[in-house]
Amino acid sequence: MNLKSILPFSHDLLTRLLVPGDIVVDATAGNGHDTAFLAELVGINGHVFSFDIQQQAIDATTELLKEKQLADQVTLFCESHANMTSLLADQSIKAAIFNLGYLPGGDKTITTLADTTIQAIESALSLLAVGGIVILVIYHGHPEGQTEKSAVLHYAESLAQEQFHVLEYRFINQRNNPPFVIAIEKRKTKPVPAK
């Protein structure tokens, strides 16, 4: 297939944006794959802050980072991503990625939730450097996922075009509620001319 599927598309955006030394966020650590991918991109002089509310996810991510010898450039928080601003108040980040839904292989009744996800997206955007990107991979094939999808789309569509570019990337002819990507890039705002 010449068109990139959802995860390769999101990883391609990150690969084109990030350089060694950057500071980034994985807002949903899950099994650690995005955290490790980000850690490889930013290198030993960069840093990844990774969040998950489930200890199972933090443990899986810790093991993967040790296996790949990437633990030194990652800080893991067993916290809600909604607490991002208070935990990273002095940071400027180049990118953040969210995989919304439930932990693959985990308890499917524990999912990301619309209210805390919106709060976390707002936090990420407030920490985001100009030219940086927040990527939302939206898995919505479950009841809470449908609610969260609607809230996230409404929020993303309401962002001021003078401040953000918002992209939606999805396959529209696939069955079973396939995941899709929302990418939000922070624009350089033009100064208001003096009167």
Residue 71: exposure state from Cβ atoms within 10 A (0-12, 13-18, ≥19): middle
Sign of CA pseudo-dihedral 14, 17, 19, 22: negative
Q: pLDDT 10s digit of each residue in the chain, 195 long? A: 688 999 999 999 999 999 999 999 999 999 999 999 999 999 999 999 999 999 999 999 999 999 999 999 999 999 999 999 999 988 999 999 999 987 677 777 778 878 999 999 999 999 999 999 999 999 886 777 788 888 999 999 999 999 999 999 999 888 888 898 999 999 987 655 556
What distance in Å separates the CA atoms of residue 158 and residue 166, rounded to the nearest whole number?
Answer: 10
| Helix-helix angle 6-17:33-42, to 10 degrees | 20
- Residue 100 structure tokens: 């919304």
Q: Delimit the domains of the chain by residue range.
A: 23-186
Let me know if domain 23-186 sits in CATH 3.30.1330.20.
no
Instruction: Characterise 4 by phi-psi region: left (phi > 0), alpha (psi -120 to 50), beta (else).
Output: beta
Q: Residue 183: beta bridge partners?
A: 135, 167
